[in-house]
Chain A
Amino acid sequence: MNAAPGTLLQVSDAHIAYGKVEAVRGVSLEVAENEIVTIIGANGAGKTTLLNAIMGVLPVSGRVSFASQDMTRLEIEDRVAAGLSLVPEHRELFGAMGVEDNLRLGAFRIAKTVAATSLERVYTLFPRLKERRRQLAATLSGGEQQMLAMGRALMGAPKLLMLDEPSLGLAPIIVADIFRTIGELRQSGVSVLLVEQNAQAALQIADRAYVMELGEFILNGPAKEVAADPRVAASYLGFA
């Protein structure tokens, strides 16, 4: 199973269990450089679990390699340094800290000079954050919090950004904003692995898609083909 040239993330035969319950059963997945890949699937299918395992939050059996480097034994902070970053479902901001302090923490493993350019880049991407740089994270609105969580993850200059339900609980106008930003990220050379319930928006923006059910991938391929599959159309998109 040698990675094709340009493969950034490769997961092979991943099994992830909570105690005796196996939540993810032998899935394999690849993300190439400059690619947006989405995982869609029902509730409890194991999508969040898979992202957490790739990040190293959960133990996984199987192989996870990133930029041709074996990640399996690496601690979370070393995976971050290698260029992997996760924006978790609950955002997990440091609520009692200011916006800019939250961002600077995202560059904890990065040289100061690089961090300064990262900060400028994040502020260009999310001008709202610059306006609110001194405000406490906990006092931001939901949309701004999602921007901050994404901005914080981007501070470490990741090669691959993993997003877990970025549109959850956000107003339509903000959701459009978030998806536009995801598109912009690819142009600046960041790959994106996107877990999203808004299957329609996710399939529109992604290059490739995986459909997960009960801990297994039942379908994968170019996003357009996946969107055209009758099973996906009926249960995720709402037109048969």
Chain B
Amino acid sequence: MGPRLPIIGFAAAMAAIPFIPGMPPFWIVLLDNIGLAALVAMGLVLLTGVGGLTSFGQAAFCGFGAYTTAVLTTAYGFSPWLTLPLALLVSGLAAVALGLVTVRLSGHYLPLGTLAWGLGLFYLFSKLEFLGRNDGISGIPPLAIGSFRMIDPAAIYFAIWTAVLLCAVLTINLLDSRTGRAIRALRRGHVAAEAFGVRTPRAKLLVFIYAAVLAGLSGWLYAHFQRAANPTPFGAQAGIEYLFIAVVGGAGYVWGSVLGAAIVVILKEILQSYLPYLFHGEGQLETIVFGILLVALLQLAPTGVWPWLTARMPLKPNRGRPDASPALPPRTRTPAASDVLLQIDRARKQFGGVIAVNDVSFDIQAREIVALIGPNGAGKSTTFNLITGVLRTNGGTISVLGMKIDNAAPQEVAKLGIARTFQHVKLVPDMTVLENVAIGAHLRGKAGALASMFRLDRADEAKLLAEAARQIARVGLSGQIDALAGGLSLGQQRIVEIARALCVDPLLLLLDEPAAGLRHLEKQQLANLLRELRGGGMSVLLVEHDMGFVMDLADRIVVLDFGTKIAEGTPQAIKTNPDVIRAYLGAAA
């Protein structure tokens, strides 16, 4: 298949390198170091580049992997292979402990937090008696298969690069899946992701653990490569360098980590070996030149060298069309006791002294389109956020089919069949329309991270993508299905949000200014779509300023002004209501 071919080619080339006659052993050592660094940087690609969680502390997780095998093989005589799962487990558990604290931090505090424990763990490693304090642990046995002992750098080379390639494929698989989309939404669209059932704290912890396990694997390999472990390579300095590698290669790209590792390791080596000749051994000069070169490189390729390179290649991504045949099961609709789908009873929200929503009550029946109108700042979007659990109420109740839902988490509200769009579009700009819309079907899939990594999720994934493609066709955006969401016009992005909401198979659709930025013909198409959805049993609550659109479409209108409901009724009644004309419609209506 297309996308696999370059990877197989790369693997074959890497496998052939040690057999090139006259290949200097020193180069093989260099390649070993590149592979080890690439593994750590690959974790950072997921954590930082994709997930948006900057970590300076990844080197410490290498330490957990390295010291685990060092202690177990030297003090307890474990076989190196037996320590591999244990090393990964220890790094993973360390990540759970540190991650539970760290991922709660936001903004500048998160990278500072990682720097703090990166520094702290270095001193811990160098003070603990059983880890050999500053001297570390030596005499670690080499990896061995039968009588083949991987002492030679050219022997462990295969172990290292098998690990790199395997992890790259697993990581790419993970990113291209239900879980992967949730991870990719973390950085720029977590509010929207939560509205479609993604448990973002869990997803953050997952990438944190994943990155740590990759670092632990690198550490385990490093220990058996060097046959020794001491604290220096696991300190904060190394942690900063790994982040650097990921950024130079392209922090958002899996192969960027391998390229970045190659660039940084080789550049450092060249400078260290040749600069002293040029400048007669003036110390530390290479560090300065290294810094200058890297700054220059980032000027040339600000998002990293990998995307800079691929943009110059003629290859176009070959996007497969999702298989249209399998369908997701529709939501099971339990016959409701009453026809009232959503009931808002004296809902109240205060921001400091400002009452944004002041004891507002209204209902939405099954198969009904209700419009919420009012001047800007009247509390319409706040009402949406109260219904969907983005904000907590200060009073009153909100119920769905007779069940209280006020202050339920957004994920729980989504499960009940309430899907929404946002006033300020919240799509992941560097994901395609198809991928963005598929996030809407998150709760209807079940494949987890492990299944995705080993491609056991394909049946589940095909259904999700087919559902997404169906909803995209329904809103009339099939022509843009593979376009990056960030490249669409604002009006189209709003329509993408509607398709994403439809993927929930909702009972109630909440639309925040869906017609804004659409021209007349597109508005008519949207109105027809909403009528069709109502015909199919769905209810719609919409905030909209286009009165022609609203009056034509809505069964009932609720008017808010300064957080208070000032009128409710049919479009005809609202149009002539003097309070509404004064507060909102003006003389024009």
**Pairs A–B under 8 Å by Cβ, sample size 5:** A168-B517, A169-B545, A171-B375, A235-B520, A236-B519
Complex contacts, A45 vs chain B, CB 8 Å: 489
Query: Pick the contact of A142 from B377, B492, B584 — CB < 8 Å?
Result: B377
Given contacts A165-B517, A171-B584, A235-B521, contact A197 B376 (CB under 8 A): no
With both beta carbons as reference points, the residue of chain A lying nearest to B483 in the complex is identified as A21
* Interchain CA distance A190-B375 in the complex, whole Å: 29
Chain A positions near chain B (C-beta within 8 angstroms): 18-19, 21, 40-45, 48, 89, 140-144, 165, 168-176, 197, 199, 234-238
Complex contacts, B518 vs chain A, CB 8 Å: 43, 197
A18 touches B487 (CB 8 A): yes
B376 touches A174 (CB 8 A): yes
- Verify if B124 is at the interface (C-beta below 8 Å from A): no
Main SS class of interface, A: mixed
Complex contacts, B586 vs chain A, CB 8 Å: 172-173, 176
- Verify if B577 is at the interface (C-beta below 8 Å from A): no
* Interchain CA distance A40-B545 in the complex, whole Å: 19
Complex contacts, A173 vs chain B, CB 8 Å: 375, 583-586, 588
- Verify if B522 is at the interface (C-beta below 8 Å from A): yes
* Interchain CA distance A41-B489 in the complex, whole Å: 12
* Interchain CA distance A143-B376 in the complex, whole Å: 6
Closest CB of chain B to A14's CB: distance in Å?
Answer: 18
Complex contacts, A41 vs chain B, CB 8 Å: 519
Closest CB of chain A to B574's CB: distance in Å?
Answer: 12
A43 touches B492 (CB 8 A): yes
Query: Pick the contact of B519 from A48, A144, A172, A199 — CB < 8 Å?
Result: A199
With both beta carbons as reference points, the residue of chain A lying nearest to B543 in the complex is identified as A169
With both beta carbons as reference points, the residue of chain B lying nearest to A234 in the complex is identified as B521
Complex contacts, B517 vs chain A, CB 8 Å: 43, 165, 168, 197
Given contacts A170-B545, A173-B586, A197-B518, contact A142 B491 (CB under 8 A): no
With both beta carbons as reference points, the residue of chain A lying nearest to B523 in the complex is identified as A238
B519 touches A235 (CB 8 A): yes
Nearest 9 Cβ contacts at the A-B interface: A141-B377, A142-B376, A173-B586, A43-B491, A44-B489, A141-B376, A235-B521, A238-B520, A43-B489
With both beta carbons as reference points, the residue of chain A lying nearest to B480 in the complex is identified as A44
Contacts of B553-589 to chain A: CB distance below 8 A: 583-589
Given contacts A142-B377, A171-B584, contact A197 B521 (CB under 8 A): no
Closest CB of chain B to A85's CB: distance in Å?
Answer: 21
A89 touches B376 (CB 8 A): no
Complex contacts, B513 vs chain A, CB 8 Å: 169
- Total A-B residue contacts, Cβ distance less than 8 Å: 90
A237 touches B376 (CB 8 A): no
Given contacts A197-B519, A238-B524, contact A172 B487 (CB under 8 A): no
Closest CB of chain B to A52's CB: distance in Å?
Answer: 12
* Interchain CA distance A129-B376 in the complex, whole Å: 15
Complex contacts, A42 vs chain B, CB 8 Å: 519, 521-522
Given contacts A141-B375, A141-B376, A171-B374, contact A237 B490 (CB under 8 A): no
Chain B positions near chain A (C-beta within 8 angstroms): 311, 373-377, 423, 487-492, 513, 516-522, 524, 545, 547-548, 583-589
With both beta carbons as reference points, the residue of chain B lying nearest to A168 in the complex is identified as B516
* Interchain CA distance A171-B517 in the complex, whole Å: 14
B520 touches A172 (CB 8 A): no
Query: Pick the contact of B545 from A43, A171, A237 — CB < 8 Å?
Result: A171
* Interchain CA distance A63-B167 in the complex, whole Å: 51
B521 touches A236 (CB 8 A): yes
B376 touches A170 (CB 8 A): yes
With both beta carbons as reference points, the residue of chain B lying nearest to A23 in the complex is identified as B487
Query: Pick the contact of A172 from B423, B490, B545 — CB < 8 Å?
Result: B545
* Interchain CA distance A44-B311 in the complex, whole Å: 24
Complex contacts, B524 vs chain A, CB 8 Å: 238
B520 touches A199 (CB 8 A): yes
Closest CB of chain B to A176's CB: distance in Å?
Answer: 5
* Interchain CA distance A184-B337 in the complex, whole Å: 58
A44 touches B491 (CB 8 A): yes
With both beta carbons as reference points, the residue of chain A lying nearest to B544 in the complex is identified as A169
A169 touches B516 (CB 8 A): yes
Extra inter-chain contacts (14) besides given A165-B490, A172-B586, A173-B586, CB under 8 Å: A41-B519, A43-B492, A45-B489, A143-B375, A144-B376, A168-B516, A169-B423, A169-B513, A171-B584, A172-B545, A173-B585, A175-B545, A235-B519, A237-B520
Given contacts A199-B519, A238-B548, contact A174 B588 (CB under 8 A): no
A174 touches B519 (CB 8 A): no
* Interchain CA distance A144-B378 in the complex, whole Å: 13
* Interchain CA distance A188-B311 in the complex, whole Å: 49
* Interchain CA distance A120-B521 in the complex, whole Å: 42
* Interchain CA distance A183-B321 in the complex, whole Å: 50
Complex contacts, B584 vs chain A, CB 8 Å: 171-173
* Interchain CA distance A234-B524 in the complex, whole Å: 11
B376 touches A171 (CB 8 A): yes
With both beta carbons as reference points, the residue of chain A lying nearest to B311 in the complex is identified as A19
